[in-house]
Amino acid sequence: MDWARWVPEFRLLEAPRIAASPVIILLAFAGLALTAGGDQGITTLLGGAPPLTEPVTPPVAAPWEGAPLGGDLDEGGFGIQFVPAASAAFAPLQPAYAAATDLLSLRSVEAVFRGAVRLLWALIVWGFFGTVICRCAAVRFALGATGSPTAAVRLAGRTWVSALGGPLLPATGLGVLALGLILLGWAGDIPAAGPWLVAVLWGAALLAGLAAVALLVLAAVGWPLMLACLAVEGSDAFDAFSRAFSYVLGRPLRLALHVAIGVVIAAVAVSAVHLATTAAAQLAAGFAAVGMGQEDLTATGVTGAEGASTAAAVGSFWTALWKALPAAFAAGLFWTLTTVSYFLLRYADDAVETDEIWQPKDGPPADDGEVPRVGVAASDVPTIERPHQPTI
């Protein structure tokens, strides 16, 4: 029985296999590294470095910092924690969440400006890398082909402005509501009549606050679907915004089911990758220590311990990259699950088959991973086969 035909959500199980592509892992690592580096730089330059004069949301950690999923390499740990493993799959959302927390704190003008810059940087980085990853995942899911990373990069470059414009649409509505509430607060300073005006209109102010919360939730949930729409449909910001909000509002239970299934898949898959990478590092270190001794091996930095030599710096570099592998896989899995969820929501809402994906009409050939046909094979001229008469 074709279970995926009767229960389309079974196709979410294909996400870990697609996300294990080296191309997707490399793209996710680049997105994580750029986001973390930019976020830490912005936080430091705009007053977030200690000593702090005011509370600030901590900058996003780099993917190779720490071991949030279990035991560290230099501790010999193999512990698996499913909750951190599942939360690691939401790494692309963490910079935007930290920046939005800083922005909406409204502690000072400096905090608001810093939060806005941090949020813009996160949207710029993931607007590009998220679209590229979604495109690579979409080609693999819909066509079953490897696809062309170059074609995905071209699509992301063409839709980069739309990737930024999609979140700005709900942000504009949020700004209008915020401006109205600010004006109401200013009106409250009017002598005698001001307090009465605020008291009478406070019911409307509460409704505006509720609408602002709804816009924030819809923007947070719909933003990944917007990038998936750009990657699958090759459309613009307005189409991505309308489709994402239509699926979020029209299919909330199905979307919640996708999120629940995705969390379980991410917990198991990311934990498996973390266990495999930790075991590989421990086995490599164990066998190498037999030959050169544990103390000399530790001095090379390959076990995660710090050293002063150049060899230790090189060894620490490879260990840091190896530590980042589960985080990069988790980030790629997030965008892959988002893409598969978009296909399933589109099928449920618009009855569009999951093998339909936008392809460019002109320019380079379709990025289906196959060798393009040329000559007679690529033309409409029928091939005439002549019988062969053997001769003696």
Is 385 within the bounds of a domain? Answer: no
Residue 258: its pLDDT value, please?
A: 93
Is 389 within the bounds of a domain? Answer: no
Work out the end-to-end distance of the chain between its first and last CA atoms, rounded to an integer number of angstroms: 56
Domain that holds residue 271: 8-350
**Which residues in the chain show pLDDT less than 50?**
49-56, 66-80, 363-364, 366, 368, 371
Other Cβ atoms within 10 Å of 269 Cβ, number: 24
Q: Using CA atoms, how far apart are residues 126 and 123, in angstroms rounded to an integer?
A: 5
Other Cβ atoms within 10 Å of 306 Cβ, number: 10
Is 59 within the bounds of a domain? Answer: yes
Peptide bond preceding 55 in cis form (omega within 30 of 0): no
User: 0.85 exceeded by the pTM?
Assistant: no
Other Cβ atoms within 10 Å of 2 Cβ, number: 7
Q: Which amino acid is at 239?
A: D
Q: Using CA atoms, how far apart are residues 31 and 24, in angstroms rounded to an integer?
A: 10
Q: Using CA atoms, how far apart are residues 77 and 90, in angstroms rounded to an integer?
A: 24
Q: Using CA atoms, how far apart are residues 127 and 92, in angstroms rounded to an integer?
A: 10
DSSP letter for each residue of 128-145: HHHHHHHHHHHHHHHH-S
Q: Using CA atoms, how far apart are residues 363 and 150, in angstroms rounded to an integer?
A: 13
Residue 380: its pLDDT value, please?
A: 57
Give backbone dihedrals phi and psi of 107, rounded to 5 degrees, phi first: -70, -40
| Token pair belonging to 337 | 């699950």
Is 362 within the bounds of a domain? Answer: no
Q: Using CA atoms, how far apart are residues 136 and 140, in angstroms rounded to an integer?
A: 6
Is 340 within the bounds of a domain? Answer: yes
Is 365 within the bounds of a domain? Answer: no
Count of domains for the chain: 1
Q: In the 8-state DSSP scheme, what is residue 68?
A: T
**Nearest residue to 254 via CA among 346, 141, 354:** 346
Is 100 within the bounds of a domain? Answer: yes
Residue 116: its pLDDT value, please?
A: 83
Helix axes 160-187, 109-143, angle to 10 degrees: 150
Is 308 within the bounds of a domain? Answer: yes
Residue 67: its pLDDT value, please?
A: 44
3-state secondary structure at position 80: strand
Residue 26: its pLDDT value, please?
A: 94
CA triplet 166, 168, 172: central angle to 5 degrees? 135
Find residue 70's DSSP bridge partners. Answer: 80
Write the CB contacts of 8 (distance below 8 Å, at least 6 apart in sequence).
344, 347, 348, 354
Residue 194: its pLDDT value, please?
A: 83
Write the CB contacts of 383 (distance below 8 Å, at least 6 apart in sequence).
376
Other Cβ atoms within 10 Å of 62 Cβ, number: 18
